[in-house]
Amino acid sequence: MDLTAANAKIAEFSRLIEEKTFNPYSGELKVGVDLGTANIVLSVVDQEGNPVAGATYGASVVKDGLVVDYVGAVRIVKDLKEQVEQILEVRLTEAATAIPPGTLGGNVKGIINVVESADMNVTHVVDEPTAAAIFLGIQEGAVVDVGGGTTGVSILKEGKVIYTADEPTGGTHMSLVLAGFYKTTFEEAERLKKRTEDHRNVFTIIKPVVEKMATIVKNHIAGYSVDKIYVVGGACCFDEFESVFAKEIGIETIKPHKPLLVTPLGIAMHSTR
Ligand SMILES: Nc1ncnc2c1ncn2[C@@H]1O[C@H](COP(=O)(O)OP(=O)(O)OP(=O)(O)O)[C@@H](O)[C@H]1O
Ligand SMILES: [Mg+2]
């Protein structure tokens, strides 16, 4: 796995989203839709997995793989699709999407329906940590996706996923702890949590949540020979996050830059075109 190359791609994708622009490409485009608990991301990559364009929207229309506001979710995906279509001047007709590991039938259908109601055929449904593993090119080890709502774990051996799991602890729980500590609203705690200049103070308060996440991961990987853990997802943005994991679990823990955008890029790479 080449972390430097992965980081360069993630940084490029972030720039494309921010500047609302695209990179030149050749061949068919691959599209991914990540319906997260905190963020919805539409990502477009080329056949080699290089970022071409993307758009993102912060929303709480899906909760841990369950669509809680169907109309809102469809509207946002349609809007993101139109934004990217305008940037690229092409129509996007197919997409891959993702679910937390263990999501069951009806809820998977709910996710697919959102993307299809936004006029894209769903070609592939992948689980979130596995999407991240594909993007990072991981052959061996565990990938942990700590999003807004859940912590997803995927264990790989010789490039194959041999185990997946998902537990309801994520960035939302960090914000709840912060809100309790400062006796403020959840929304205010979310804002405070994301201010990078306050990360050190915030981290001392939410550290027990990170330790809990580490314990969850430790329990899931017990019995497998894992010698590296890769953490992705918005909730692991804190500088000290991976050192808490390494200390609690006793396994080297690696984090790409901008961990928020890893899973969305991996989902796009799963699109079968
Ligand atoms: N700079 C930041 N510092 C701390 N936390 C952040 C930062 N940016 C985003 N987050 C947190 O990351 C979480 C969102 O991450 P992500 O986009 O990976 O989740 P999601 O995919 O929407 O959720 P899930 O995968 O659980 O359904 C939120 O809890 C958000 O508050
Ligand atoms: Mg996610």
Is the shortest distance between the CB of 101 and ligand 1 below 6 Å?
no
Q: At what angle do helices 128-136 and 3-19 cross, to 10 degrees?
A: 110
Residue of minimum CA distance from atom 8 in ligand 1:
234
Is the shortest distance between the CB of 193 and ligand 1 below 6 Å?
yes
Is the shortest distance between the CB of 259 and ligand 1 below 6 Å?
no
Pocket test for ligand 1, best of 10, 37, 42, 126 (most atoms within 8 A of CB): 37
**Tell me, what's the pLDDT at 64?**
80
- Work out whether strand 30-35 and strand 94-99 pair parallel, antiparallel, or are unpaired: parallel
Q: What share of the chain is helix, strand, coil (3-state, %, to 5)?
A: 45, 25, 30
Pocket test for ligand 1, best of 17, 35, 39 (most atoms within 8 A of CB): 39
Residue of minimum CA distance from atom 15 in ligand 1:
234
Is the shortest distance between the CB of 37 and ligand 1 below 6 Å?
yes
When pLDDT is averaged across residues 217-244 and rounded to a whole number, the result is 95
**Tell me, what's the pLDDT at 102?**
84
Is the shortest distance between the CB of 237 and ligand 1 below 6 Å?
yes
Q: Which helix (H) or strand (E) holds 107?
A: helix 105-117
CB contact at 8 A, 50 and 26: no
Residue 174 has pLDDT above 80, yes or no: yes
User: pLDDT band for position 176 (50/70/90)?
Assistant: very high
Tokens of 180: 């309790």
Parse the chain into domains and list their residue ranges.
3-133+261-270, 138-257
**Tell me, what's the pLDDT at 1?**
72
User: pLDDT band for position 101 (50/70/90)?
Assistant: confident
Residue of minimum CA distance from atom 12 in ligand 1:
234
**Tell me, what's the pLDDT at 104?**
82
What is the whole-number distance in angstroms between the Cα of residue 4 and the centre of ligand 2? 22
Is the shortest distance between the CB of 103 and ligand 1 below 6 Å?
no
Ligand nearest to the CA of 261: 1
Phi, psi of 91 (to 5 degrees): -90, 140
User: pLDDT band for position 270 (50/70/90)?
Assistant: confident
Going from the C-alpha of 262 to that of each of 3, 200, 222, 273, the distances in angstroms are 12, 24, 25, 20
User: pLDDT band for position 151 (50/70/90)?
Assistant: very high
**Tell me, what's the pLDDT at 50?**
95
Ligand nearest to the CA of 61: 1
Long-range contacts formed by 26-31: CB under 8 A, 24+ apart: 28/273, 29/88, 29/90, 29/92, 29/273, 30/96, 30/268, 30/269, 30/270, 30/271, 30/273, 31/92, 31/94, 31/95, 31/96, 31/120, 31/268, 31/271
Let me know if the fold of 3-133+261-270 is the same as that of 138-257.
Answer: yes
User: pLDDT band for position 273 (50/70/90)?
Assistant: low
User: pLDDT band for position 16 (50/70/90)?
Assistant: very high
Atom of ligand 1 nearest to the CA of 128: 25
Strand partners, 211: none
Phi, psi of 29 (to 5 degrees): -90, 150
pLDDT digits (tens, 9 = 90+) for 180-230: 999 999 999 999 999 999 999 999 999 999 999 999 999 999 989 999 999
Architecture of domain 138-257: 2-Layer Sandwich (3.30)
User: pLDDT band for position 39 (50/70/90)?
Assistant: very high
What is the whole-number distance in angstroms between the Cα of residue 84 and the centre of ligand 2? 20
User: pLDDT band for position 105 (50/70/90)?
Assistant: confident
Q: Regarding the domain with residue range 3-133+261-270, which homologous superfamily does it belong to in the CATH classification?
A: ATPase, nucleotide binding domain (3.30.420.40)
For a pLDDT cut of 90, what percent of the chain falls above it?
A: 87
Q: How far is it, in rounded angstroms, from Cα 193 to Cα 35? A: 22
